[in-house]
Every structure is written in C-alpha cells, then in structure tokens.
Amino acid sequence: MDERMTIKVGVLGSAGKMGAQTCEAVEGAGDLDLVARIDQDDPIAGLVDAGAQVAVDFTHPGVVMDNLEFCIRNGIHAVVGTTGFTDERLATLRSWLDAQPGVGVLIAPNFGIGAILMMRFAAQAARFFESCEIVELHHPGKADAPSGTAGRTAELIAAARREAGLGAMPDATRTGLEGARGADVDGVRVHAVRLRGLVAHQEVIFGDEGETFTIRHDSLHRSSFMPGVLLGVRRIVDAGGGLTVGLERFLDLD
C-alpha cells in the first residue's frame, strides 16, 4: 500500500497487557503505521510530535479522561478500550467533541466480536425470562469490578426488560453476608470472579418456570480483541466525528 495512505496510530498504555498486544497488531497491519508508544512515564505530547491521527487507549479508568481531553483538543481521533465510562463521563466527552467538529471517539466496552454478539443476544432474550443474572470471570490483575462488559450487558438487559414491562426479579433473600448476591446494576445482579488462569469470560444466565438459558463468551487470549480494535481504528477516521459507544455501531448487525 502507498505509505501516504496508511493511518498513523499511537498507543496509550503501550507497555500494558492490551497496549502491547495492540502495538503488535498495528505493526502487523499493512494499512496502519505505529508512530508512538506512550506509557505511564512518557509525555502524551509524543502523539502530536509523531503525527498520530488515531490514539488507541488501554490505560486506566483514572487517567483515560485526561488522555481523551488531550487527544480531542489536538484533533486526534481516539479508540478507547479502557473501562469506567459513566453517563456523566460520556456527556463530558460529547461536550468536548462539540467544540472540535470532525474529531471522533469510539468507546468500546469490549472489542471481542463474540462478546458483542453475546451482549446483543442477551438483550434479545431478556424479555422472555423472569430472571437473569450475570457472572463475569477475569484474570486477577484486573483493577475494576464488575467489568465494563458486564455493566453494559446489565444495562442492555434492564432496558429490554423495562420496554417489555417486566418488573423486579423474584428474590426472597432477607439475610446474608454482604456481597453474597453480587452487585445490583440497574436491577440486574452481577457476580465477579477473579482467578489465575482466566483471561476474560462472561455468562448471562436466564431463568423461568422449568428452564434456564445460558449465553457464554470466552476470550481465551487477548488476540481475540485485535480484529475489533483494528476495525475501530479504520472506521473512526471516516466516522465524521462525534462520539460512538459500542463497536457494534460499526458492525452493521441490523
């Protein structure tokens, strides 16, 4: 490919588990050019010096907003896998992007194609079952719980239940140790497992009279996220600016 046609990519969190995998994937893509590796102690201005058009962020919920403020202000598109995006944070991003027309940001709770389908199928199934709980399972190096994916799945299920007119799920628990019933995310119970040997896994379990229905997704290696990351990089450049939440928006699922 003509070098002038390549997309110049910088990676934030480049020494981390996902950042390192992303650097390798970008270097292996003929249409992308890895121009900057930025980790904890490197100045983020390196993105501008290197002429990055797109920054991929796999850092930490505590620093990602500062990174995005910098990228947007400097006209650099961003593809973000880092977790921790509340409605309030998304509103802040929209206001920053309004001031920089043409700059695009993709926030993707999960880049795994199977994980996106899991979320989609869970939302479809939600209205047919009285009960639903989520079990997410990850490596013990994960800083946040529950996972961003589990939070997003719970929100999608809750929205589908509301639309179908379903009320609260049955649960007779009156006593118990704190945490035993997991976290309540929009009325959906989410349980987080942290275990050596795991990468990223999730089960969505539905139940009703006489039957259960389980949807399970397993990321067995971080390479599973890379086709989604590269797709996000390619699509954000032509997205016309603004905020996109969820890689499914680029997958033509409907």
Ligand X SMILES: O=C(O)C1=N[C@H](C(=O)O)C[C@H](O)C1
Ligand Y SMILES: NC(=O)C1=CN([C@@H]2O[C@H](COP(=O)(O)OP(=O)(O)OC[C@H]3O[C@@H](n4cnc5c(N)ncnc54)[C@H](OP(=O)(O)O)[C@@H]3O)[C@@H](O)[C@H]2O)C=CC1
Which residues sit in the known binding site?
A: 13-18, 37, 81-83, 108-111, 139, 148-149
Instruction: Mark 177-206 with x for binding to ligand Y (rule: CB under 6 A) and - for no binding.
Output: ------------------------------
- Min separation Cβ 47 and ligand X, Å: 23
8 labelled catalytic = no
- Extended strands (E) in the chain: 7-12, 32-38, 54-57, 77-80, 104-107, 131-138, 183-185, 188-194, 200-208, 211-219, 242-245
Identified catalytic residue from 77, 138, 191, 217 = 138
- Identify whether the C-beta of residue 121 lies closer than 8 Å to the C-beta of residue 215: yes
Interacting partner of 104 out of ligand Y, ligand X, none (Cβ under 5 to 8 A depending on kind)? none
Three-state DSSP at 166 gives coil
Measure the CA–CA gap between 157 and 123, rounded to whole angstroms: 5
Q: How far apart are the first and last CA of the chain?
A: 32
Among 21, 149, 153, 224, binds ligand X (CB under 6 A): 149
234 binds ligand Y (CB under 6 A): no
228 binds ligand X (CB under 6 A): no
Which pair of tokens denotes residue 183?
């976290």
60 binds ligand X (CB under 6 A): no
Q: What's CA 197's distance to the chain center, in Å?
A: 21
Chain positions contacting ligand X, by CB under 6 A = 83, 109-110, 138, 142, 147-149, 200
Contact residues: ligand Y, CB under 6 A: 12-13, 15-19, 38-40, 58-61, 63, 81-83, 108-111, 144, 225
